[in-house]
């Protein structure tokens, strides 16, 4: 199963629109899409989330920004992000995640009319990088974990490259695992079932040449 990563800076770099990306992700039968945007303003992120919602009807996850959570199906957070949120709201990690799942934690958002899923239980995922973090994540009420980095990638810090070791670490997780960081469409990641959980691929669907992008889109 493919968990697609829509990274705004990457789309800009390769001159790929949200519509084109979503069309490609749908053609690849992705089930989840994560919207990550590290540098834009909240207003810009909300406008792009509106556009993504028009193009993507399946599960939509936002990255880090709790202000966008009321308008998405879930949120993916990093280890440091979780620590900071716990300090900000004076909550334990377990309490923080439960509040996120129940939609009780959010920041102030402008009055934009987006598809609001506030009556649903939210999906919460957490990044992990080693066995120690996986075992700690097992004690938290998460819906899945991200494990990586699998390979080098230009979209984030990948000082900790796991490579094939990531496949071995999966067995320690009680949660579904998304292999993250530098995963390409052609990478062969086995669909191992661990405690009833499938592996997902997290892919940025990045293509280095615009020619290849156009070729793929025509074949959808």
Q: Please report the domains of the chain, with CATH numbers, ordered by start residue.
A: 2-218 (3.20.20.70)
Q: pLDDT tens for residues 131-145?
A: 999 999 999 999 999
Residue 190's nearest CA partner among 59, 198, 101 is: 198
User: What pLDDT does residue 157 have?
Assistant: 59
88: helix, strand or coil: helix
Residue 153, pLDDT > 50, answer: yes
Q: pLDDT tens for residues 4-25?
A: 999 999 999 989 999 999 999 9
Mean pLDDT of 191-205: 42
Q: Which two tokens stand for residue 124?
A: 């919460």
Q: Rounded to whole angstroms, how far apart are CA atoms 216 and 119?
A: 37
Kindly indicate the confidence band of residue 197, based on its pLDDT and cuts at 50, 70 and 90.
very low
User: What pLDDT does residue 191 have?
Assistant: 59
Return mean pLDDT, the chain: 80
Q: Which two tokens stand for residue 129?
A: 């990088």
What is the longest distance spanned by two Cα atoms in the chain?
51
User: What pLDDT does residue 148 have?
Assistant: 82
| DSSP tag of 195 | T
| Pick from 130-134, 163-167, 203-207: least confident | 203-207
User: What pLDDT does residue 152 have?
Assistant: 72
For 91-160, the DSSP string reads: --HHHHHHHHHTT--------------TTSPPEEEEEE-SHHHHHHHTTS--SEEEE---S--TTS--SS
49: helix, strand or coil: helix
Q: pLDDT tens for residues 34-91?
A: 999 999 999 999 999 999 999 999 999 999 999 999 889 999 999 999 999 999 999 9
| Pick from 50-54, 155-159, 212-216: least confident | 212-216
C-alpha count within 13 angstroms, C-beta hemisphere, residue 157: 5
Residue 92, pLDDT > 90, answer: yes
């Amino acid at each position: 199963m493919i968990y697609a990563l829509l990274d705004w800076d990457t789309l800009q770099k390769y001159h790929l629109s949200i519509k084109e990306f979503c069309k490609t992700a749908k053609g690849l039968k992705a089930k989840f899409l994560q919207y990550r945007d590290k540098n834009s303003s909240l207003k810009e992120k909300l406008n792009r989330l509106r556009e993504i919602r028009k193009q993507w009807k399946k599960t939509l996850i936002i990255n880090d920004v709790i202000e966008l959570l009321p308008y998405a199906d879930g949120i993916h957070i990093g280890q440091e992000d979780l620590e900071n949120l716990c300090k900000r709201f004076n909550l334990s990690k377990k309490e923080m995640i439960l509040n996120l799942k129940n939609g009780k934690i959010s920041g102030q958002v402008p009055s934009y009319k987006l598809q609001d899923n506030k009556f649903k239980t939210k999906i919460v995922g957490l990044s992990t990088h080693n066995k120690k973090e996986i075992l700690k994540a097992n004690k938290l009420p998460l819906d899945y974990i991200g494990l990586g980095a699998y390979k080098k990638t230009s979209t984030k810090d990948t000082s900790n490259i796991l490579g094939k070791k990531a496949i071995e670490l999966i067995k320690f997780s009680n949660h579904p695992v998304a292999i993250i960081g530098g995963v390409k469409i052609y990478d062969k990641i086995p669909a191992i079932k661990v405690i009833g959980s499938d592996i997902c691929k997290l892919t940025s669907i990045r293509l280095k040449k615009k020619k290849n992008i156009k070729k793929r889109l025509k074949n959808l």
